[in-house]
Amino acid sequence: EDVATMESMTIALAADHAGVDLKKLLSDEIEEMGFNVIDLGTNSTESVDYPDYAFKMATCIADQKADFGVLICGSGIGVSIAANRFKHIRAALCAEAISAHFARAHNDANVLVLGSRFIGTEIAKACVQTFLTTDFDGGRHLERVAKLNKIG
């Protein structure tokens, strides 16, 4: 099955208070790339609990309201742990575009995770661009991803 065209793909974005500024910047970038965007919050720097936003992301993808997601917290670790508790989520914390490429190509990741305190805006943009334009390679990776889906 072919990946949907950019115009019809929807990307959900969510962040805690540490990632709100980067989320806004990346939302604009993703819209400029031609994707639809769902902003799941937060929209303030007032302290919030990061698991709440990872859960919103997981639910949005499970309900097929979004094709992919971008999750942001200070380090990226907290939201990665929270999101990956859901069987249908394969969230990958990336700090540069090469990791974003392999997260999609080899792991069929459906959520890109970024740590706002450890990544610059240009690298974050490159990660998003790469993640959202890289297809899953399939092939030998299909069986490995299938094994991931059996865990839990």
φ and ψ at 15, to 5 degrees? -155, 155
Residue 106 appears among annotated catalytic residues? yes
- Closest listed residue to residue 26, CA positions, set 135, 134, 112: 112
- Do 7 and 63 contact (CB within 8 A), yes or no? no
φ and ψ at 138, to 5 degrees? 65, -135
Task: List the catalytic residue out of 17, 88, 101, 106.
Answer: 106
- Do 49 and 42 contact (CB within 8 A), yes or no? no
Question: Which residues touch 67 (CB under 8 Å, ≥6 apart)?
Answer: 4, 9, 10, 11, 61, 110
- Positions marked catalytic: 106
